[in-house]
Chains A and B, each alone.
Chain A
Amino acid sequence: MRSDEEVLAELRGWVLGKARDLDETALTGRTPLFEERHLRSVHLPELLLLLERLTGAPIDVEDLRPGDFRDLDTIMARFHARERA
């Protein structure tokens, strides 16, 4: 099991690789990722696969709820904390 810091670092790196308009200092845990269009719909399938790899657990898209991918803090709480619980 990866630590919180490792998962967050991988997620941040992935987001910064996709969101060309964001630099490291601008990306916080509360930066709205899709609402502010830093990420687009086309990135979602890859993000799901990344989360499945990082958490080691499958994600059923039927379980996805509004706000699940709002920002990095929410993603960590929703997907990584769930797997540690």
Chain B
Amino acid sequence: MDAVRLDELARVGLMWRPTGEAALRGPLLRLAEDCDRAFTRLATGWDAREERHPATLPAERLQRVDYLRSFPHQATFAVGMDAAEANLDAFLSGEVVDGSGRVAVTELAPVRDVLTPAACYHLYRAHEGERLTGPLHLSTRNTCFRREREYVPLRRLRTFTMRELVCLGTRAETAAFLAAARARVDRFLELLDLPVRWETATDPFFQPQRNPKALLQRVQPAKHEMTYGDLAIGSANDHHDHFGEGFGIVREGVPAYSACVAFGVERWLYALTDRHGADPAAWPDVVDAAGKAVASTEARA
């Protein structure tokens, strides 16, 4: 991102740290909150239950769907010091933080938790073992953490905000959810005058040529990204029964299918300000557009 653009965004509330963190205030924060309200509004009619989850997930639970073998390069762990007083004394008698900013740790406590890599993982864990009597629609937002090779303001962040709309049910129920959600998103994008293409994609597996899950995604696409220019600002994902099986969630006697539509809030800020400029007066009313998108797609159905 060039300096002029970064300066424009700073004037409307972006505080950027090159280590991959974006803080927001003022107009840009309001736009982020409006985007999140708009994404939530897109779930109108599904009675999507809102859930709010913590920042960490137990690695043992995440491993039920083989997360760490699939994405070890992106995982960030919640780490603490071994609480033994002698260990903490040793830590305090050292440099604590060295000149390069690295913490001069002594003994660490066992690492058991992963910082949320995607918001929806919490939902499958939260509904573990349930026998569903109908489709279950959920909505959640979380701060997500992913390690990347480089970071770019609003485009590629180490910590970012993800809103997800999720359906758990039969294969037909999740397919119907994805089709309807995509239609709503299409209309929403049209109303926002945001040119976006749906592109087939695969998840960023570590060593994909050796990973059976990555191979399967090549021959049976399960992920479609909403792409603005070269930037994926969201995705529609068909998980099949991957999470239903991993977390023992049952629908009609077999592992539940699941699907989600995910929105990367900061990337939407990039797309909207790239398309409509950095002057808040020129930004579209995203919440209103979401309401209209739902109304018009329901009328067509």
Contact = CB atoms under 8 A, between A and B. Distances in A.
Interface stretch (B23-31, B46-54, B117-125, B218-226): B218-226
A82 interface: no
Contacts of A66: 200, 218-221
Interface stretch (A10-18, A23-31, A40-48, A50-58): A40-48
A14 to B, nearest CB: 16
B218 A64 contact: yes
Contact of A61 (B209, B213, B220, B221): B209
B215 interface: yes
Given A61-B209, A66-B200, A41 B218 contact: no
A41 B200 contact: no
B79 interface: no
Interface string B201-244: 00000000100110110111100000000000000000011000
Nearest to A34: B220
A41 B131 CA distance: 25
A6 interface: no
B170 to A, nearest CB: 13
B215 A45 contact: yes
B216 A44 contact: yes
Contacts of A37: 240-241
- For chain B, the bracket of interface size reads 10 to 19
B218 to A, nearest CB: 5
B219 A69 contact: yes
Contact of B218 (A35, A43, A45, A61): A61
A70 B240 CA distance: 15
Given A61-B209, A66-B200, A34 B215 contact: no
A34 B216 contact: yes
Q: What secondary structure prevails in chain A residues at the interface with B? A: loop
A73 interface: no
A30 to B, nearest CB: 16
B179 to A, nearest CB: 16
* Most chain A CB atoms below 10 A, which of B200, B209, B216, B240: B216
Contacts of B200: 66
Contacts of B218: 61, 64-66
A27 to B, nearest CB: 18
A44 B216 CA distance: 7
A44 B215 contact: yes
- A-B CB proximity, top 4 nearest: A41-B216, A41-B212, A44-B215, A41-B213
Interface of B: 200, 209, 212-213, 215-216, 218-221, 240-241
26 contacts: A34-B216, A34-B220, A35-B220, A37-B240, A37-B241, A41-B212, A42-B212, A43-B212, A44-B212, A44-B219, A48-B215, A61-B215, A61-B218, A62-B209, A64-B215, A64-B218, A64-B219, A65-B219, A66-B200, A66-B219, A66-B220, A67-B219, A67-B220, A68-B219, A69-B219, A69-B220
Given A44-B215, A44-B216, A66-B200, 19 more contacts: A34-B220, A37-B241, A40-B216, A41-B212, A41-B213, A44-B219, A45-B212, A45-B215, A48-B215, A61-B209, A61-B215, A62-B209, A64-B215, A65-B218, A66-B220, A67-B219, A67-B220, A69-B220, A70-B220
